Structure 1
């Protein structure tokens, strides 16, 4: 069990180091990596409701709302209310031109980082497997 615990702690440390590196790239734009992920999802969708973001990314609605508000005030997002005959409470979030530039720059940066990894998906899956095995023993 001692060897498994050490592997667990090392895997968590690697994930934390990776998280910090991802956040560092975003700091230049005063956003977190989580906010970048939201922006990337909005870019892919071309416009989306906040509740859909919450469901798709498995993030609480309150957390999504806080993150979107910060992005909105940074001029990275635009909000559009639904039409006259529709429910005015429904809001569609889309990227502003500034937001699109930020997503493109960060996406390019992350793609370059991923290209250096041997196989990032396999590495993440291997780490997740270690965590799964160890969580069963705890």
Structure 2
């Protein structure tokens, strides 16, 4: 089972092999392309958490169970949790998470729910949400 902060569901959907450091990118590659992208990836169970998760583990911004940008991360998590109806302690499958994103998020929504994310302007997540809607 994986552990994700609320905003990492969309980060995983939009990930395209870029990250904060070599270790971070290798970890994301393993999670997104390896585990979630595997033939059984849709069945992967993910526990929603309110602290550092499996994606955060090698992040250079991680400070124990938190981030060196706690207010920014808390705001991202709050907006994503509300938009996707996710709560800490809930376990959700990757297939269900993708369906929830498809039903509840449009590419334009990311301007609000991802406000403050340094990756927003790159457009990767908007492209991923648009692709999800076209599948």
Higher relative contact order (CA 8 A, sep 6+): 2
Same fold (TM over 0.5): no
Q: State the TM-score, normalized to the length of structure 1.
A: 0.28
More helix by percentage: 1
Which of 1 and 2 has greater Rg? Answer: 1
Q: State the TM-score, normalized to the length of structure 2.
A: 0.29
